[in-house]
Amino acid sequence: MGFSLKFCVLLVSLTLALYPDDAWGKGKVINLHEDNWEQMLTEEWMVEFYAPWCPACRALEPVWTEFASWSEDLGIKVAKVDVTTSPGLSGRFIVTALPTIYHVLNGEFRQYHGTRDKDSFMSFIEQKKWETLEPIPSWKSPASFHMGATAYFFKLSQLLRAVHNRLMEDYGLPTWGSYLIFAVATIVLGALLGLIMVCTIDYLYPCKPSVPHTRTVGGVNKEVDDLDRGDVDDLVDENGSQSSQDERYSGSSSGAEDEDEEEEDKDKEPSRTPPSPGSPAGKARQRRARKAD
């Protein structure tokens, strides 16, 4: 009997030590990170973004833990995100100040700007003060595709920063040396990406081969490419202008010859003089004119 009682007391003490909040039926702060953050897309949440080195975050920690103890009574879940270990989430939510608090209800995000104490947090939930706030628009929603791409860029920036610190601390490089390495790597990487893009475009949209065109130049058929069309056109224009000049010259010379021939014909024709009024022909003409009148 005494052994079983001691065993029960020991079991209860162990449970209280390991899970104090769960043993008393109280909620606790849930740690979210980049692998499980999608849990907040369902139900109602209050999420804090913090950093261990932030003085304001350290001051808010006991208040946030006390607020989380009332989460079951309020019907919500209280969580926190460490931006130093989850840089992608800080980029996804565009966290620019610490601590930053969000209210999330079934995928709708609203940023909390009220007083940071337990009573204010509880009244914000109980009185549904979050309804007075406009939700974040869809184009800035942390669950959207482009904000996910932003999260990857934030991860990349943190990775580059870690490499920069390691080059200076572990390898003893000066700051300008690390910057020089990053500059050269950026130029080389940009050149490689540009080459890959050019090769891909040439493969998908190859250039069409030039088709030769036949032109008649000076009575001779010639095949010319597109690049030689200008020279051929110039040659054709020159030949055409020369031939037109020849035609004009020949036409003018032939016209002059025709005029000479007409003058010779006029000279060969006998001269005709009108008959005098006293002659028989003149009298006959006068009688015909009277009859006509």
SS3 content of the chain, % helix, strand, coil (to 5): 60, 15, 25
The rounded Cα 15 to chain-centroid distance in angstroms is 57
Q: What is the largest CA-CA distance in the chain?
A: 186
Active-site residue, 57 included:
yes
Are 129 and 117 spatial neighbours (Cβ–Cβ below 8 Å)?
no
* CA dist 81 → 33, 34, 88, 101 (Å): 6, 9, 11, 10
Are 60 and 99 spatial neighbours (Cβ–Cβ below 8 Å)?
yes
**Catalytic entry in 8, 57, 199, 207:** 57
For residue 64, the cross-strand partners are none
Q: Distance between the two ends of the chain, CA-based, in angstroms?
A: 174
For residue 217, the cross-strand partners are 220
Q: Tell me the residue ranges of DSSP E strands in 124-249.
A: 213-217, 220-224
Residue numbers annotated as active site: 54, 57
